Amino acid sequence: MNRYNPLAIEAKWQKIWEDSRAFEVDESSPKPKKFLAEMFPYPSGAGLHVGHVRNFTIVDVLARYYSQKGYNVLRPFGYDTFGLPAENYAIKTGVSPKVATDTNVSNFRNQLKKLGFAIDWSREINTSSPEYYKWTQWCFLQLYKKGLAYQKESYQWWCPVDQTVLANEQVENGHCWRCGSEVEKKKMKQWFFKITEYADELLDDVDSLDWPDKIKTMQKNWIGRSEGAEIDFGIVDSKEEITVFTTRPDTIFGATFLVLAPEHPLIKNIVTDKTKSAVEEYCKNALKKSEIERQENKEKTGVFTGSYAINPATKEKIPIWVADYVLIGYGTGAIMAVPAGDERDREFAEKFDLPIVEISKVPEKPFGTPKTTYRMRDWLISRQRYWGCPIPIAYDKDGNTHPIPEEQLPVIIPEIEDYKPDNSGRSALAKATDWLKVTIDGEEMSRETDTLDGYACSSWYLWRYASPHDSAHAWDPKKIAYWSPLDIYCGGDHAVAHLLYIRFWCKFFADEGKLPFREPITKLLYNGYINAPDGKKMSKSKGNVVDPLDVINDGYGADTLRTYEMFIGPYDQDATWNPRSVGGVYRFLNRCWTLCFETELTDTKNDNLRHRTIKKVTEDIDRASFNTAISALMEYVNELYKVGASKEDLVVLSKLLKPFAPHLASEMLEQLSANDDWPVFEEKHLTSETVQIIVQVNGKLRAKLDLPAEELDNEEKITALALKNENVKKFVTTPKKTIFVKKAKLLNIVA
């Protein structure tokens, strides 16, 4: 007897799709367009994991569904290939990040092909290829020309032993992750993108997005708009003033002291000889804490500067303190402390015995000038790293910045021997002495050695998909106008950073006249994680990672893997991998195969069942409820086994199954000589059959209820209806017990 052989079927269809370039699309189609994408992956050396597969399968199910429904579907793919892991690997082994990255990309690509994704492979992009990063550099220059890419001094984590700048996540409890020595904050010149210029629009447009509420809220909180006022406080015996930001200018009568952030530039001007060393010591220590630590609700610390300010409302002298709960990057980095109104100020006042004045008076006319502040800062984009997109800037002899002329792009990353950053904190690019030299307008200059944050590369890649090999534009204006905005984006990470940055670039390039829309992503599906069978997070170190290719090669095949990943639970919730359920899904697909290839067709009329199933699966996919769509297909198959299946029943099964298990479904459609057009349900077939329920009270027949057949499963509803029945009510009002026997269609009520 023949049997379901997924590996043979999958190899056959993957070859057909590859040879016929089945998923390549262009803009000439008369069909309506759909553009779908996942958050492209960082191709790590470990290869795909089941979490990627969940994310990519969601997009694939939708891509196939929409193309079966008659849309011109663009489902491209790309790789986010710059970043620290490849660079650290290079520092350790000497293998060039480019070589390691190329190996990882081809490994990923092979794995993806085994999963049967409906990807337009002619559009593959890779952010570390010069053909791509040329345009990342071009984007940078557009922002630079408009003053939205600028330099300023900023504090960076610095490891004094390794002599290198560290990213936040490389600092563990104030120590360097690599050598364990205590880190410092060092003031360095850094590049920023002025995302704050778009703060209002980024905030206001959030409401219009078809995104999960939790992500919208996170974006709003991150931007954090606050309406308040800035108030100037004069300093006793000084011409200086301290400007504070407050959301409560009405509480000024209760302001009994001022607090400056430890980084505040005025501190050095107002400390006294007596307080100087204590203040300096305090500020030095404060710099070792991260902002998050500083905002934690721990015991307050601080130090008195020795100087006083005048409260403009009370005209009283109030002390000026320094404390790390005030952050330099928010508001003005200085506050008027109102212990009677603000919890943190009250704690501080209690600890340091500062006056607490209940606020009974409100100023007649408001103090200060109205001011709106944002929690969001400008986006720090320079990285002292080798494996990133070089910032296309050069410095003249006086240190002035000059853009690299567009016709000289891309600024190619030079190959070097040693990938370690140099001891001044500059990236290893500083060691490429020949590469550093550049001539602009006849003048010898030196190239910038910082590279761009990887998030810059992913801030425009969706538009590159429209014309991935265009050598004249970052994106072709006509093509982008056809495909964009992205209809559906799917991912389970980057709730704030990436999703905010890409919105910022979209608005900027819309203002530049380069994009005909102001929001890049219409609908966002934010998927949950997959945990290991032991319920813990999958990780290499715990040895509990499920390798998707093992599942395929164990003989289950890609269709089982895909279908299981969608069946595992609601897509937006975390789920636990269960090897037994994988087997269950395999048996289900096996039953589909047997029904189609090994079972005789009947002429049973299953119109109601078939149309109900079409309706359920269609509506479930529309609301991204993939697991319930698959359950409906399982029930459908169970029913067909019981009552017999007609050809039409099987054609519908194959079509509905195709987004999840495309290889098997294609094989079935071929056998049935049918196309894959998405089936349409007809209302007239949906009127369901009715069943009659017998209701007994203490064993005696008291009523008969007629209900739609599918409600036979709804015991709660049946019981409620029975208890409302006039005849039943005569014999029982509050039952002791109810017993429902589904098979016998019998409800017994014990009075």
Binding site for ligand ANZ (CB under 6 A): 226, 245-248, 251, 261, 326-327, 330-331, 333, 335-336, 338, 341-342
The CA distances from residue 510 to 507, 515, 520, in Å, are: 5, 5, 10
User: For ligand ANZ, which residue has the nearest CB?
Assistant: 341
Minimum CB separation from ligand ANZ for residue 297, in Å? 13
Measured from the Cβ of residue 226, the count of other Cβ atoms closer than 10 Å reads 14
Minimum CB separation from ligand ANZ for residue 348, in Å? 11
- Interhelix angle 662-671/557-567, rounded to 10 degrees, is 120
Minimum CB separation from ligand ANZ for residue 496, in Å? 17
Compare residues 333 and 520 and give the one whose CB is closer to ligand ANZ: 333
Residue found by looking up tokens 């300010």 in the block: 309
Compare residues 371 and 562 and give the one whose CB is closer to ligand ANZ: 371
**Inter-residue long-range contacts of 538-541, CB under 8 Å, 24+ positions, other chains counted:** 538/49, 538/50, 538/51, 538/577, 540/46
Compare residues 27 and 347 and give the one whose CB is closer to ligand ANZ: 347
Residues across the chain: 751
Residue found by looking up tokens 């002599």 in the block: 163
- Sign of the torsion formed by the C-alpha atoms of 623, 626, 632 and 633: positive
Minimum CB separation from ligand ANZ for residue 436, in Å? 39
Run of H or E residues at 588: helix 579-597
Compare residues 85 and 341 and give the one whose CB is closer to ligand ANZ: 341
Residues 6+ apart with CB under 8 A from 318: 255, 256, 257, 258, 308, 309, 310, 311
Minimum CB separation from ligand ANZ for residue 327, in Å? 4
Residue found by looking up tokens 């992956």 in the block: 41
Minimum CB separation from ligand ANZ for residue 227, in Å? 9
Compare residues 59 and 340 and give the one whose CB is closer to ligand ANZ: 340
Compare residues 10 and 345 and give the one whose CB is closer to ligand ANZ: 345
Compare residues 309 and 404 and give the one whose CB is closer to ligand ANZ: 309
Compare residues 335 and 722 and give the one whose CB is closer to ligand ANZ: 335
Minimum CB separation from ligand ANZ for residue 258, in Å? 10
The CA distances from residue 608 to 597, 615, 628, in Å, are: 24, 11, 19
Give bridge partners of residue 524 from the DSSP assignment. 489
Minimum CB separation from ligand ANZ for residue 335, in Å? 5
- Cα–Cα distance, 257 to 528 (Å, whole number): 47
Compare residues 255 and 640 and give the one whose CB is closer to ligand ANZ: 255
- CA angle, corner 254, sides to 248 and 257, nearest 5? 100
Minimum CB separation from ligand ANZ for residue 302, in Å? 12
- Cα–Cα distance, 391 to 427 (Å, whole number): 12
Minimum CB separation from ligand ANZ for residue 304, in Å? 18
Residue found by looking up tokens 């990040």 in the block: 97
Residue type, 74: L
Compare residues 215 and 357 and give the one whose CB is closer to ligand ANZ: 357
Q: Are strands 125-126 and 575-576 parallel, antiparallel or unpaired?
A: unpaired
Compare residues 341 and 414 and give the one whose CB is closer to ligand ANZ: 341
Measured from the Cβ of residue 498, the count of other Cβ atoms closer than 10 Å reads 17
The CA distances from residue 742 to 73, 636, 710, 748, in Å, are: 45, 19, 12, 11
State phi, psi for 432 to the nearest 5 degrees: -85, 75
- Following DSSP, what letter does each residue of 437-470 receive, concatenated? EEEETTEEEEE---EE-HHHHTTSHHHHTTSTT-
Minimum CB separation from ligand ANZ for residue 508, in Å? 26
Compare residues 35 and 282 and give the one whose CB is closer to ligand ANZ: 282
Minimum CB separation from ligand ANZ for residue 245, in Å? 5
Compare residues 88 and 247 and give the one whose CB is closer to ligand ANZ: 247
State phi, psi for 525 to the nearest 5 degrees: -110, 120
Minimum CB separation from ligand ANZ for residue 6, in Å? 56
**Bond preceding residue 30 cis, omega within 30 of 0:** no
- Cα–Cα distance, 603 to 161 (Å, whole number): 80
- Cα–Cα distance, 150 to 193 (Å, whole number): 7
Backbone angle region of 699, left / alpha / beta, with phi > 0 → left and psi within -120 to 50 → alpha: left
- Cα–Cα distance, 109 to 103 (Å, whole number): 10
